[in-house]
Every structure is written in C-alpha cells, then in structure tokens.
Amino acid sequence: MRIERRELRKWVLGCEQDDPPLPIRLFTIVSLTFWLASILGAGTGISAEAIPHGLYVRDGVLMKDAKPYRGIGANYFSLFSRVLSHPSDASSLSNLAALAHARIPFVRFMCGGYWPVEQQLYLTNREAYFERLDRIVRCAESNSIGLIPSLFWYFATAPDLVGEHLDALGNTNSQSIAFIRRYTEDMVRRYRDSPAIWGWEFGNEHDLDCDLPNHHRPAVWPNLGTAKERNERDELKFAQLRVAFAAFGETVRKLDPTRIILSGNATPRPSAWHLVHEQKWTADTEAQFDEMLLRQNPDPMNVVSVHIYHDRKGAYSGGAKTISAAVAVANLHATRAGKPLFLGEFGAERSLGSREQQQAVFEEFIDAIVRHRVALAAFWVFDLGLQDKEWNVTFENDRGYMLDLIGKANHFMVFTP
C-alpha cells in the first residue's frame, strides 16, 4: 500500500500519544497452538533444537515448528517507527500484545525510518537505535507473536543516505549496496536467535517503481534527507533492483540458513511485461504475468510476495476479473514455482461505501485466502492514524470487526491444515 506524500510528511516525528502501560504476558490460543506444535514435533523424531526458528520452506510448503503453516496477520507499519521517533511512547507495544490476544499470529512492519532523516539514529548511535528495536522484539517474544521486519521500506532511502543515485542499487561495489549488506547483517546477527522473527523482507512494493515511462523518479524533500534533485540516473530499472535483492538475500542466507526471505513486492502490474519490453501499458497475458511474478521474486527469495486490493473495474493482474480469481492465479503460479504465496497486503477501504459494503469485500478476501489455501497473508493496516480516512483498523474504531473476522479465520485454519 502506498502512503500519500502529504501523509508521509506528517510521519517524520511519528505520532504523539499518552504512554499506556507496558504489555503483560498473554497466553493465547495462538500461543497454545505453537506449544502443541512443538510437542507434536517431538513425536516426529526431530529434536526441539533441530526445529528452525520462525517460518521456513520445505519442499515448497511453508513450515513452522516442523508442521505446515497457514495464517493471516496484520500490517503494523508504525510498530517500530513510533518507538524510534518517540521512545517514551509504548502504545505500539501494548497494541502488539493485544493483537496476539486477538489471534493475530504475526505482523509485518517497517523496520527502520521511512525518510533518511528518520534513519539517522542508526548511523549516529547504533546502540540507542537497537535498544529501541530490542523492545519490539522482546515484546513479541513475551506475547508469542511473530515479526516480519521489512528492512528497506522506501526504495530511495538507502541511496539517499549515502549520497548516491538510484542506479547505484545495480552496482555491487556502490555505497548503497554496502549499506544494504551492513544493515541486513546487523539485523540478522542480532535477532536470528529470537523465535519472534518469522522471516526477513527487503522492502515495500519496489517493483511498482521500476521500468516506468515518463521519467518516473522518487520524491524530492531535502528537509527529510532526500537528494536535492533527481535525474535520469534515478529512474529505477528492475535489473538494478535485482542486484540489491541479491545482496540482501545472500547476506541473510549466509547468517540465517532457514528463515523465509521475501521481496515485499506488490503483484506485478497488469502491464508489467509490456512496460519492461515495450514501455507500453498493454495488458499482459497470463504467461507474461507468470514470467514477471517469478522475476520479481528471485532466488534466494523462497516465498512469492503479492499485494492485492479490490479493483472496481475488475482488472486484476494475470487476467483475473475477481478478488478470488486474482488470489487463485497468484497462488497457482507461486505453487508451480515451488514457493508459498504471501499475500502481504489486502484490505477494504472506507470509500467502498457502507460498513456492509466494506465488510463484504473484506470477507471476500478472507474467503479467497482460506478457499485457495494461501500460506500467508496480512491485512492493511493496523493502528496507523494518518490513514484513518480510508484504511486504519483498530480495536476501538468502527473497523475493529475485521480483527475478529481474521481471528476466526486463523482459528479455522489451525485445525484444517
């Protein structure tokens, strides 16, 4: 999901809130399920020590605790960024505990600053930076909820931090690639032994910024730490992004041999193949969709990432005309490639109409996830105040029923492997 630039400018200093009490340990149905899985795993002859932490893939099947796994989680964009900007604000920690209690088994979150100014603490005071992130990981551990950190959320931040153009992402000897390797290594070394880390994701929807016509370039906000100007070297190509993917994936796999590695990409645009080859918005065939889907999720990324939202015109990628068909075609091609599918974003915005209309679309997504046996999914978005007008879901607002629907779906999927 893209956040409008005017909204992102508000995000520089995070969200001021009163400090709620720190979370207490919650023993939930989800926690009990994980405990039972570990006990059952002992009966397979696999020792507890031999079972990898987090999620991993075996023979094309998503696994956790030595058993096949399926589940629906939440996108919690502000989970770490709020603590990073306002370390005295513990609201995201208490909300993380509440999600676990509501049968939300994991969250995907932005693991760093969006703009370069928000990432400066990592460069100037690494100890303070990781102390704040440690609080998130400890909270997740104590509440038995998984974390999928997305390390490089905005596609221009790494090059902007080191003063390079975006084409540096395609140069293995660039400072941008060196930064990606260093940040990834710091993260994986520090948290690879935590059971709370379920996987490692590169970023968010970078594929949507690649190979576009009309001189598509990143935003220019020098007060937020971006470059002061852009030129043709900032028109990102997927061939360049793939070099960055490789640097990330190789670094993760060197230090963590089992956890899933994800791109964080959206579903390929309906015209993705033609944009690359012809710079035209001609609709792709299903075969071309398959080619682009696998191209955007290259090895060692062993899970296919897509983001699917309701399309009023019924013009989904892969030739699909409905939500269910869009989920089915993505899952089919991921499965054929031997990789589980992660529907990393889905949701129902307020502008769809009444509460009943929003709920109908949301339930259509959940039905598609369950029906087509999607391995992993996460709705957009929990506890993000700057998206109150469209997407935000909390326990207190009028969209809280979505959390209940997901909790019930997770309970169902636990007992229908």
State the Cα–Cα distance between residues 209 and 241, nearest whole angstrom: 10
For residues 314 and 31, the model is more confident at 314
Q: What whole-number distance in Å separates Cα of residue 371 and Cα of residue 266?
A: 21
| 42 domain residue, yes or no | no
Confidence (pLDDT) at 20: 38
Mean pLDDT on 127-144: 98
Give the structural domain span for 238.
Answer: 63-414
Residue 43: inside a domain, yes or no?
Answer: no
Task: Give the pLDDT band of residue 415 (cuts 50, 70, 90).
Answer: low
Looking at the DSSP assignment, which residues form a beta bridge with residue 306?
343
Is 170 a member of any domain?
Answer: yes
Of how many residues is the chain composed?
417
Domain count within the chain: 1
Q: Which helix (DSSP H) or strand (DSSP E) does residue 200 occupy? A: strand 199-203
Whole-angstrom Cα distance, residue 194 to residue 200? 13
The three-state secondary structure class of 101 is helix
| Predicted local confidence at residue 414, as pLDDT | 75
Distance from C-alpha of 119 to C-alpha of 408, rounded to nearest angstrom = 37
Residue type, 136: I
CA distances from 323 to 162, 204, 309, 369, 409 (A): 41, 21, 8, 10, 17
Q: Determine phi and psi for 251, rounding to 5 degrees.
A: -65, -45
Q: What is the pLDDT of residue 27?
A: 35
> For residue 1, what pLDDT is reported?
73
Write the DSSP symbol of residue 267.
Answer: P
- CATH number for the domain that contains residue 225: 3.20.20.80
Distance (Å) of CA 281 to CA 82, 212, 213: 38, 10, 9
**Strand-pair partners of 64:** 55, 67
Domain assignment of residue 24, yes or no? no
> Which residues 6+ apart lie within 8 Å of 260 measured at CB?
54, 55, 56, 57, 62, 198, 199, 200, 302, 303, 340
The answer on pLDDT for 354 being more than 80 is: yes
Q: Which carries the bigger pLDDT value, residue 271 or residue 42?
A: 271
Query: What is the rounded CA–CA span in Å between residue 1 and residue 109?
Result: 12
pTM of the model: 0.89
Model pLDDT for residues 23-81, shown as the tens digit of each residue = 333 334 444 444 444 444 444 334 455 899 999 999 999 999 999 999 999 999 999 99
pLDDT band at residue 310 under the 50/70/90 scheme: very high
Residue 310's Cβ-side half-sphere holds a number of Cα atoms within 13 Å equal to 21
CA distance 209 to 206: 6
Average pLDDT over residues 136-165: 98
